[in-house]
């Protein structure tokens, strides 16, 4: 590099430093313009939300359940964090919900949202039952509620197959155990009556009756223990493993625009306009003076 080129670069750096200093001085001198732009943007953003169209939003709180194999939770659709969102945004689900509510599929698909309700730190804890909020906005509250309920029921029906089969099996087993207990109770009562009237029987016959009665009582205890275990398993399947709607959707009035988002956008735009005004005010004022 020649000495002339070096001087040219030095002069260019000096000019850039002067330009940056001039811009900084303009911002410092007219600091109130960016602040005024920020405040004006926030106010305008807030006022826009007040003039927004009123819509209705319905939110259903859905428990996805935690299916178990023995004493260990199993991996499946309820443990897939993206399944609920993908399902409720699918065309198939939107068409079913739209038909139930009297809406167009696009009115459902484009206005539905999901949110995982996690632990206090914002993450789902190990062993914690997954909870999801399914929300839909629209103009007619009755239709919004019906569509949200349909989407929630679709989610539940898609992931309930395994648990429903378990519940059906436990209910069948419990019904059989109750029938066996009723039959066993009749047998015990019959043996007790026979033993009460056994004065004319031989000691061997009386011993046979006593033995049979003792066996029947033991069988009754085993059946009762099995019934208690089955009832506990059935309760676990219904209350913990099975997906269900915790809070049904109730439509409430809201605005089409988010107040926070509108104020944020308005504030950023106002701040940028204020900075531009502060930088351009000096050249504009200079030209006015020259005229």
For 186-213, write each residue's pLDDT tens digit: 999 999 998 888 777 888 888 888 999 9
- Please enumerate in sequence order all residues whose Cβ is within 8 A of that of 147, keeping only pairs 6 or more positions apart, or say none: 58, 97, 98, 100, 101, 103, 108, 136, 138
pLDDT at 205: 85
Residues 109, 247 within the same domain: yes
Radius of gyration for the alpha carbons in the chain, expressed in angstroms and rounded: 37
Residue 171 lies in a domain: no
Residues 46, 75 within the same domain: no
In this prediction, residues 15-24 reach a mean pLDDT of: 62
Residue 78 lies in a domain: yes
Residues 120, 62 within the same domain: yes
Percent of residues, the chain, with pLDDT higher than 90: 45
| CATH number of domain containing 95 | 3.30.70
Residue 201 lies in a domain: yes
In this prediction, residues 218-222 reach a mean pLDDT of: 95
Residues 81, 208 within the same domain: no
- Contact criterion met (CB below 8 Å) for 37 and 277: yes
Percent of residues, the chain, with pLDDT higher than 70: 79
Residue 136 lies in a domain: yes
- Contact criterion met (CB below 8 Å) for 66 and 73: yes
- Encode pLDDT of 244-273 as tens digits: 999 999 999 876 555 677 778 878 888 788
Among 25-34, 83-92, 197-206, 211-220, where is mean pLDDT lowest?
Answer: 25-34
Residues 143, 249 within the same domain: yes
Residue 11 lies in a domain: no
pLDDT at 209: 87
Residues 158, 73 within the same domain: yes
- Pairwise CA distance, residues 291 & 132, whole Å: 67
Residues 71, 153 within the same domain: yes
- Domain holding 91, by residue range, is 54-163+243-255
Residues 89, 142 within the same domain: yes
Residue 183 lies in a domain: yes
Residues 226, 273 within the same domain: no
- Pairwise CA distance, residues 36 & 50, whole Å: 21
pTM: predicted TM-score of the whole model, two decimal places: 0.64
* Closest of 186, 160, 149, 133 to residue 238, by C-alpha: 160
Structure tokens at 136: 């839909």
Distance of CA 233 to the CA centre of its chain: 26
Residues 61, 44 within the same domain: no
Residue 289 lies in a domain: no
Coil, strand or helix at 103 = coil
- Encode pLDDT of 117-150 as tens digits: 875 444 445 555 688 999 999 989 999 999 999 9
Q: CA angle 7-13-18, nearest 5°? A: 125
Other CB atoms within 10 Å distance of the CB of residue 6: 10
Residues 249, 129 within the same domain: yes
Residues 77, 181 within the same domain: no
Number of domains composing the chain? 3
């Amino acid at each position: 590099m020649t000495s002339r080129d070096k001087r040219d670069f030095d002069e260019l750096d000096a000019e850039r430093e002067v330009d940056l200093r001039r811009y900084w001085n303009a911002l410092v001198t007219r600091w109130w313009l960016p602040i005024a732009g920020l405040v004006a943007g926030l106010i305008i953003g807030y006022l826009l939300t007040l003039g927004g169209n009123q819509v209705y939003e319905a939110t259903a709180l859905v428990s996805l359940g935690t299916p178990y194999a023995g004493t260990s939770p199993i991996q499946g659709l309820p443990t897939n964090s993206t399944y609920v969102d993908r399902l409720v945004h699918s065309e198939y689900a939107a068409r079913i919900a739209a038909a139930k509510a009297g809406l167009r599929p696009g009115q459902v698909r484009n206005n539905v949202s999901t949110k995982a309700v996690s632990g206090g730190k914002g993450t789902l804890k190990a062993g914690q039952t997954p909870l999801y909020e399914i929300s839909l906005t629209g103009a007619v509250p009755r239709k919004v509620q019906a569509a949200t309920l349909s989407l929630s029921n679709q989610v539940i029906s898609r992931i309930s197959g395994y648990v429903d089969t378990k519940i059906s099996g436990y209910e069948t087993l419990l019904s059989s155990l109750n029938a066996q207990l009723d039959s066993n109770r009749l047998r015990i009562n019959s043996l007790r009556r026979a033993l009460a009237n056994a004065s004319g029987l031989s000691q061997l016959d009386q011993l046979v009756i006593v033995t049979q009665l003792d066996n029947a009582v033991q069988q009754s205890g085993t059946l009762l223990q099995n019934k208690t275990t089955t009832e506990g398993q059935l309760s676990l399947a219904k209350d913990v493993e099975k997906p269900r709607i915790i809070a049904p959707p109730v439509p409430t009035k809201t605005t089409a625009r988010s107040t926070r988002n509108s104020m944020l956008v308005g504030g950023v735009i106002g701040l940028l306009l204020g900075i531009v005004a502060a930088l351009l005010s000096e050249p504009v004022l200079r030209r006015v003076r020259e005229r």
